Chains A and B, each alone.
Chain A
Amino acid sequence: MSKGIAITGMGIISAIGNNVAENYHALLNGNKGITRVAKIKTNHVNEIMVGEIASTNNEFEQQLNLNSDNNYSRTAFLGAVAAKEAVKHAGITNINTYKTGLISATSVGGMDMTERYFYDYLTNKTTQKYIEGHHAGDSTQKIAEQLGIEKSLVTTISTACSSAANAIMLGARLIKSGELDRVIVGGSDCLSKFTINGFKTLMILSDTYNTPFDENRKGLNLGEAAAFLVLESDAVVKSENKTVLAYVKGYGNANDAYHQTASSDNGDGATIAMEKALKVANLTPNDIDYINAHGTATGNNDLSEGRAIIRVFGENVPDFSSTKAYTGHTLAAAGGIEAVYSVLALQNNVIYPNLNFETQMKEFDITPQLELKEKPLKTVMSNSFGFGGNCSTVIFSKEP
């Protein structure tokens, strides 16, 4: 049984950087990764903006030394790149020295290839290799293979936009219970026509830069990204004399049970998730120094989340901001991306600005942090909410 859940490595690729250092640099300098979509041919190109990663699939193929007959989806490429950085960062040379698992999260999976070859499959043998790559577990199997994880616990979580937060939660539980000594947790999602058109039908895509927690917010920008953390037990940290970046201190998942896609007006699910996480962490609301909010910039989310934050924190709402204005909403990966950002905040004692904010929301008087702020941080809360009423909160801390 491990009491502390140590984070000993991180890896990330997003629209604002190909690794942890680049992402941190962009966060500090207020560099957004939001542009018009370039790699996907869509009729909506002038009606939406996205957080797209510059590298092409061919470039990833070379970076990972894969043969051209591979059947990687872009989700798998992104995930493999980020997970490898995390493992390297944790100084792991032989991954099978300890009982090591992988919990990944995705919502898109291999849909990028499915939508490209949907009818082509029926007549073209050369594209049929991607049929097996469609299901959500396939990218996870490939990431495990890239990391050399064999004969071990590998699974995939898909709870829409809270998926990666839930992967962290399961990973923490597996270490606490002694089921694993070490687990790589996170998520990966690439952009696809499927999600672009899907969110378009819900009429929640902004035609310009997304503006979290702003009165005049117009909706979200989709993004693509992958991020992973290496979690290790106290025993591994001790015997390997590991540097610990931060700890997973608390976690909570709840269901809003209100609507298939929308959050409830009062943020019931979000409130329960935050309260559960505080309870697991054995902390009070006053202990939270910064909230990395879900803050997608949809009318519904920001109102519901803001109200939930007020319900949990009352008069003393800590500094909070959404980093979606930098990266776009990276769906299943978002909880992983924001976990990396939360750990970087703790390590460097900084709070990132909530970019693009202009007008205070009229429903409440809490305002996100608007400038980069330096302040000693001990604990950071990260929220991730998804369709199906799925609400997740993870708390990261400097102390175990």
Chain B
Amino acid sequence: MHYVVAVPAYKGSFGEEQATRLLWRAGFGPKPGQAAELAKLGLRGAIRSLTRPESRRLVGPNPAVDGAPLAPRDAWGHDHLWWLDRMVRTEAPLVERMTLVWHDWFATSKDGVPQKLMLRQNALLRRHALGNFERLAVDITKDPAMLLWLNGTANNVWNPNENYARELQELFCLGAGNGYSEGDVRQLARALTGFANDWTDSGPTRFRYERKLHDDRAKRIYGKKGKFTWQEGVRLVTRHRRHPDFFVTKLWGYFIPTKPSPATRKQLAKLYLKSGREVRPVLEAILAHPDLYDAGKRMVKPPVVQCAGMLRAVGRGIDTPAWSWICDAAGQYLFLPPNVSGWDDTRWLDTATFRARWLMAQHICEPARLNPDTQTAPADPAQLVDQAAAFLGSPKLSGPVRAGLERYAADTLATADKDWKQKTYPVLALNALRMLVATSPDYLTA
């Protein structure tokens, strides 16, 4: 289907630099040579290859920790590794990236939900990755992990529990105080009553809907009166006049750091409504928008995105459990968002999380480190910097970063006052330069 709505599109050249940015924003960065390949398709072709992937296969070595396969349902941290592996190996990076977007959007945490139910929710989010938002909103409402997380199964006709009704409006569909009242929260909670589950020694089971737990009396929501069912309750929210604007602005924010202009927002909202609340056309318009390719509007890479991206760049699979605690230290442990509003994308980097990115780089660089006894490197600062950057797929370096790296190389080489040091220090400097590239402001952002 084609929708005729004029959202501005990027008209500049679409080269490797633009393709690299697109791959970082809409996926997990390029594998070697992938940005050049994508650039050949042109802007539209490149976007379509992401939004309509031909393959969803996972390619590359299977994940293994200490020689054994992962146990994502049971072992602590293996859920994180399991998903990270998909991000690294997928041939449909935007599907994984959108699954991550929905995880952040409908942020549910295993702090209170069994891991296996988190994985079940993850499959739901992936199924709807580029699908219909309204269907996603209905399905997530009855998802067991969500029912536990926001007390959907504690919400019944006798004791209405407002938790899910509040967040459905505030965080998922409308925005804080945007077109609803505290009264609407309480009434919507009544419409959403009726879910239940049992508790056994092994945890929650038998999630279901029971008519007798549902409040079937009349409710008044957004000024409308009716004996709303839970599905009708959800649709009242997704069909609220303020929803389209909220939806497109929030979705935009995952891909572009500055706000959309009012005109663009309006056009995106129109596109969304015309398509019947489909995600893909809105996403395609956002990914083609000129703001995404503005060189001065970079975004800090979320920790798991950078982690998966570095593994893709160096052609490595999941072979260590370390990525769980490292991503945690960097501020993003999958399946454990800080709260129901998800991760704060505006504050990824501070002194502690910078150090965690350093640790991330350590674990990428360590197995590939060069040995000065058997390997050589040029005693030339500029060449050393180029070689260090090549290790990570030659990301484009800005003037100040390149200058700082070359100064470091020159200062280190200048201390080589003996023959053996003149042979050894370039190799040692090259090892350190890989770390310095990986933790430079240029590489921490895209």
- Binding between chains A and B: no
